[in-house]
């Protein structure tokens, strides 16, 4: 009995230690919506203000949970960052996000998520003293739908696309964006004035979110859900043409399964990128990773062969 009690006590301590890795906070409330985030803080605080990473999980705007962002958030916190993985409205739940869906609904899903990412950002700006955050060093990241959210949050006109009365400061700009298998609807949103350091990673044969420029899901042009997207390869080349700072990791012949690859399996690459940004180190690199997958006929890029 005594041995059992000791084991139970050890288990409770283990669970408590795990629970202390993060705290769950409410970052936005209105009459119809309550949104939470999981906050990971560095073990050592110190007096110097910390950079912040806000992560948005994937799931096609219909599923997924903020727990999916715990690996990258926990690792970033271990490297001196304040980090948060947020929940957001899954607007496409019980709606079609496929070729036979409704185009305006797709756009609305991204708009709502991007606005809620802005609200999470505003929460941290308003509480920067409490959490010891340097508001000039806020990064955003996301996987798949989360990547689309982050990219649009980085580059959309917040006055035109804003949905909520509380706004980010007019002069606010993210320090950088990290996109896993993401895309943007209008590449012309990325200009010399608006461009920020960008880390992108993507499978070159992704049939869900295009690696380069194509319709979402490669839908035919007569589809009700037809939506043109500019993927990682197109974004990377565009930023380089603008003389901006960007890094692209291409998983040769890989599909959408690589959308969380760096966040889940190699989070130090993400932290290294953010550290380089903070140290004013410009990136212009394209890393090609072999996957031992065969390129599908009519899809992918020859530099992967």
In angstroms, what CA-CA distances link 107 with 15, 64, 95, 114, 202? Answer: 41, 19, 13, 11, 22
Q: How many domains does the chain have?
A: 1
Claim: this prediction has a pTM higher than 0.85: yes
CB-based contact 122:168 (threshold 8 Å): yes
| Cβ count within 10 A of residue 7 | 10
Domain range for 141 is: 16-197+260-280
- Sequence-distant (6+) residues with CB within 8 A of 179 are 141, 142, 147, 150, 151, 198, 199, 200, 201, 232, 235
Cα–Cα distance between 249 and 252 in angstroms, integer? 9
CB-based contact 92:115 (threshold 8 Å): no
pLDDT tens for each residue of 24-60? 999 999 999 999 999 999 987 778 999 999 999 999 9
The confidence band for 19, taking pLDDT boundaries of 50, 70 and 90, is very low
CA-based radius of gyration for the chain: 20
At 169, list the tokens: 């400061």
Percent of all residues in the chain with a pLDDT value above 90, rounded to a whole number: 86
Residue 299 in any domain: the answer is no
Residue 266 in any domain: the answer is yes
Residue 292 in any domain: the answer is no
> Which pLDDT score is estimated for 7?
47
Q: What is the mean pLDDT of residues 231-255?
A: 97
CB-based contact 254:204 (threshold 8 Å): yes
If you write DSSP's letter for every residue of 3-66 in order, what string do you get? Answer: HHHHHHHHHHHHHHHHHTT-EEEEEEE-SS-EEEEEEE--S---SSPEEEEEEE--STTTS--G
CB-based contact 149:114 (threshold 8 Å): yes
The answer to whether residue 85 scores a pLDDT higher than 60 is: yes
Residue 221 in any domain: the answer is no
Cα–Cα distance between 53 and 76 in angstroms, integer? 8
What is the distance between the terminal CA atoms of the chain, rounded to a whole angstrom?
63
> Which pLDDT score is estimated for 303?
74
Question: How do beta strands 50-56 and 133-143 pair?
Answer: parallel
Residue 169 in any domain: the answer is yes
Residue 293 in any domain: the answer is no
> Which pLDDT score is estimated for 305?
66
Q: What is the mean pLDDT of residues 183-205?
A: 97
Residue 253 in any domain: the answer is no
DSSP label of 279: T
The answer to whether residue 18 scores a pLDDT higher than 60 is: no
Cα–Cα distance between 118 and 114 in angstroms, integer? 6
The confidence band for 2, taking pLDDT boundaries of 50, 70 and 90, is very low
Cα–Cα distance between 26 and 87 in angstroms, integer? 10
pLDDT tens for each residue of 142-185? 999 999 999 999 999 999 999 999 999 999 999 999 999 999 99
- Which uninterrupted H or E stretch holds 159? helix 158-161
CATH of the domain at 23: 3.40.50.1820
CB-based contact 286:246 (threshold 8 Å): no
In terms of pLDDT, which residue wins out, 205 or 20? 205
Cα–Cα distance between 144 and 26 in angstroms, integer? 24
Residue 59 in any domain: the answer is yes
């Amino acid at each position: 009995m005594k041995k059992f009690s000791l084991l139970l006590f050890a288990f409770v301590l283990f669970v408590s230690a795990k629970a202390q890795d993060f705290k769950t906070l409410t970052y936005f409330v209105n009459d119809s919506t309550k949104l939470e985030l999981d906050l990971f803080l560095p073990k050592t605080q110190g007096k110097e203000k910390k950079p912040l990473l806000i992560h948005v999980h994937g799931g096609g705007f219909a599923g997924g949970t903020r727990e999916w962002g715990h690996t990258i958030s926990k690792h970033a916190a271990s490297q001196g960052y304040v980090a948060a993985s947020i929940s957001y409205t899954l607007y496409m739940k019980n709606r079609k996000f496929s070729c036979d869906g409704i185009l305006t609904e797709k756009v609305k899903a991204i708009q709502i998520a991007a606005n809620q990412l802005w609200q999470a950002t505003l929460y941290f700006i308003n509480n920067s003293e409490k959490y010891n955050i340097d508001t000039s060093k806020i990064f955003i990241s996301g996987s798949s739908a989360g990547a689309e959210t982050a990219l649009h949050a980085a580059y959309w006109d917040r006055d035109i696309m804003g949905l909520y009365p509380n706004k980010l400061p007019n002069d606010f700009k993210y320090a950088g964006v990290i996109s896993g298998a993401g895309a943007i609807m209008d590449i012309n949103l990325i200009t010399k004035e608006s461009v920020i350091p960008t880390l992108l990673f993507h499978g070159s044969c992704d049939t869900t979110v295009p690696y380069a420029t194509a319709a979402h899901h490669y839908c035919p042009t007569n589809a009700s859900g037809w939506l043109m997207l500019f993927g990682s390869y197109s974004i990377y080349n565009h930023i380089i043409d603008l003389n901006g700072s960007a890094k692209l990791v291409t998983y040769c012949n890989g599909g959408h399964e690589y959308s969380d690859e760096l966040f889940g399996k190699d989070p130090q690459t993400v932290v290294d990128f953010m550290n380089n940004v903070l140290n004013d180190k410009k990136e212009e690199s394209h890393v090609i990773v072999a996957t031992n997958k065969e390129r599908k006929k009519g899809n992918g890029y020859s530099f992967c062969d």
